[in-house]
Amino acid sequence: MDGNNNQFNQQSGQSYQDQLLGQFSGQGYPQQPDGQPQQGYYQQPYGQPQQGYYQQPYGQPQQGYYQQPYGQPQYGYQGQPYGQPWQYGYPQYGYGMPQAPVFDKRAAKKHFSGIGMSYFVFWIVSLVAVYATQLILYTMSIDTKSNYLLMIMSSMLPMYLIAAPLCVLMMKRVPEERIERTRWNFGQILGGFIVAYTLMYIGSWIGSFIGEIIESFYPDAQAATNSVQELVLTGEMWVNIIVMVMIGPVVEELLFRKVLCPRLKAYGDWVTIIVTGLMFGVFHGNITQGIYAFMFGAFLAYVYLRTGNIFITIGYHITANFMGSVIPLLLMNAVNIDGYDEVMATGDAQLVSEFMSDNPEAFALYGLYGLFVFGLIITGIILIIVTAARKRIFIYPGRIRIPSGMRFTTVILNVGMILFLLGGIFEIFINTFY
């Protein structure tokens, strides 16, 4: 054996021990010659793909945890590329990617002025068309006050058939951004309606409270009076169903959600929600209705931003108007609300009890509906609190960010918006004090 070892040593120029060390050192963790793949724990040569734990070569796509090559889009949370807009338009700007555009205040004011001017024209043409229609009917000796159908048609159809299409044509010149459509399940749709109805009722209470304060200082004012509600409750049911429940909600949702929201979306959700609610509230022309229309319209704008489905907001609006105009009218006719008010004015408890006992079923239904509405509002308040606590209210910035301190001057202090708001405030003032 020593001879063989000597011969081996002579050929290799290395001792037997050195050869063994060079070839077999670290058995179980084989050490390979320099520059060759190093085996064990998936260790491969430098510059070659490193296997194990999804480790790939430097400069190549790194697999696992959505890691992509340097300089390429990195796919992370919710699968959106690094440096690209996140879900719902949240812009993420990173190293080597396009940065947020520089804010152009002049262009932004022109944008909002175009929106305001379109709805100012809608308002002024509505007034002119309504008064022109009523003047024509007056010259024909047709009394609209004694005919509920003619009164409604002469006040609303000119607005819907003449002013609204003109507003849509003007708004086509204003740039818009597409709102992505997202599917909501039945529970989300139902919960959204409960919240919308709750906000509408809260707004109605706030408006009535403010109106009462105004009337305490100006007794002749009608600040706490909802003229539309009074008109509906004294009108004909089938006219209410056609105009208030069917035509009105469809036209208003198309005008204030379908047309308006996409043209505000570029400036973020808050701008879209607040401006839509403000314009929708001012459009209604009185304090009580204006405040609840602001809250109701703002939430419908949020729903439309999240779903992109105009049929959901139309459904909310139709249902709310049906619950506010048709059902109360049916119940009040059933209980003879005028007679009930007269009996209540006497202050005679026995007379009131006898009046109610004449029609107990109607009064029972009236009370049950009141309890249903009350339960709906309590449920809505709970939903709002729980949703806010769980941070499930999603508000996202837009592609164009208005710097802090410039928002009011950009969005409101422009020619179009000033004209629209002044016109609406003037109408509210006239309806309140005259």
Distance between CA atoms of residues 228 and 244, nearest Å = 10
Q: Is the dihedral angle over the CA atoms 171, 172, 174, 178 positive or is it negative?
A: positive
Q: Is the dihedral angle over the CA atoms 412, 418, 419, 422 positive or is it negative?
A: positive
Mean pLDDT, rounded, for 71-100: 46
Quote the number of domains for the chain.
1
pLDDT of residue 230: 60
Residue span of the structural domain in which 115 resides: 105-433
In a domain, 172, yes or no: yes
pLDDT of residue 304: 98
Distance between CA atoms of residues 359 and 356, nearest Å = 6
In a domain, 31, yes or no: no
Distance between CA atoms of residues 211 and 202, nearest Å = 14
How remote is the C-alpha of 332 from its chain's centroid?
34
Burial 158-188 (b: 16+ CB within 10 A, else e): bbbebbbeebeebbeebeebebeeeeeeeee
pLDDT band at residue 376, thresholds of 50, 70 and 90?
very high
In a domain, 18, yes or no: no
Structure tokens that stand for 54 in this block: 């999804």
Distance between CA atoms of residues 202 and 198, nearest Å = 6
Q: Is the dihedral angle over the CA atoms 357, 359, 362, 366 positive or is it negative?
A: negative
Q: 169-218, pLDDT tens digit by residue? A: 999 999 999 999 999 999 999 999 999 999 999 999 999 899 889 888 88
pLDDT of residue 15: 52
∠ CA 35-36-39, nearest 5°, is: 130
In a domain, 24, yes or no: no
254 to 280, 300, 325, 354: CA distances (angstroms): 12, 12, 21, 49
In a domain, 74, yes or no: no
In a domain, 38, yes or no: no
Least confident segment among 326-330, 379-383, 429-433: 326-330
Q: What are phi and psi of 101, to 5 degrees?
A: -65, 150
pLDDT of residue 43: 53
> What share of the chain has pLDDT > 90, as a percent?
45
Instruction: Please list the residues that pair with 279 across neighbouring strands.
Output: none
Q: Is residue 98 packed enough to be buried (19+ CB in 10 Å), middle (13-18) or exposed (0-12)?
A: exposed
pLDDT of residue 134: 82
Structure tokens that stand for 235 in this block: 């009108």
Structure tokens that stand for 112 in this block: 């909002």
Whether residue 136 is predicted with pLDDT greater than 80 in this model: the reply is yes
Distance between CA atoms of residues 426 and 420, nearest Å = 10
pLDDT of residue 55: 52
- Which position has the higher pLDDT, 134 or 392? 392
Q: What is the 3-state secondary structure (H, E, C) of the chain?
A: CHHHHHHHHHHHCCCHHHHHHHHHCCCCCCCCCCCCCCCCCCCCCCCCCCCCCCCCCCCCCCCCCCCCCCCCCCECHHHCECCCCCHHHCCCCCCCCCCCCCCCHHHHHHHHHHHHHHHHHHHHHHHHHHHHHHHHHHHCCCCCCCCHHHHHHHHHHHHHHHHHHHHHHHHCCCCCCCCCCCCCCHHHHHHHHHHHHHHHHHHHHHHHHHHHHHHHHCCCCCCCCCHHHHHHHCCCHHHHHHHHHHHHHHHHHHHHHHHCHHHCHHHCHHHHHHHHHHHHHHHCCCHHHHHHHHHHHHHHHHHHHHHCCHHHHHHHHHHHHHHHHHHHHHHHHHHCHHHHHHHHHHCCHHHHHHHHHCCHHHHHHHHHHHHHHHHHHHHHHHHHHHHHHCCCCCCCCCCCCCCCCCHHHHHCCCHHHHHHHHHHHHHHHHHHHC
Whether residue 32 is predicted with pLDDT greater than 90 in this model: the reply is no
Where does residue 42 fall: left (phi above 0), alpha (psi -120 to 50 degrees), or beta otherwise? left
In a domain, 20, yes or no: no
Mean pLDDT, rounded, for 237-255: 87
Count of CB atoms within 10 A of residue 212's CB?
12
Give 274's contacts (C-beta < 8 A, 6+ positions apart): 298
In a domain, 10, yes or no: no
∠ CA 36-41-46, nearest 5°, is: 35
Whether residue 45 is predicted with pLDDT greater than 70 in this model: the reply is no
Structure tokens that stand for 218 in this block: 């100006």
Look at residues 253, 306, 298 and name the one whose alpha carbon lies nearest to residue 277.
298
Mean pLDDT of all residues belonging to the chain: 80
Q: 316-339, pLDDT tens digit by residue? A: 999 999 998 788 878 877 887 777
Mean pLDDT, rounded, for 215-236: 69
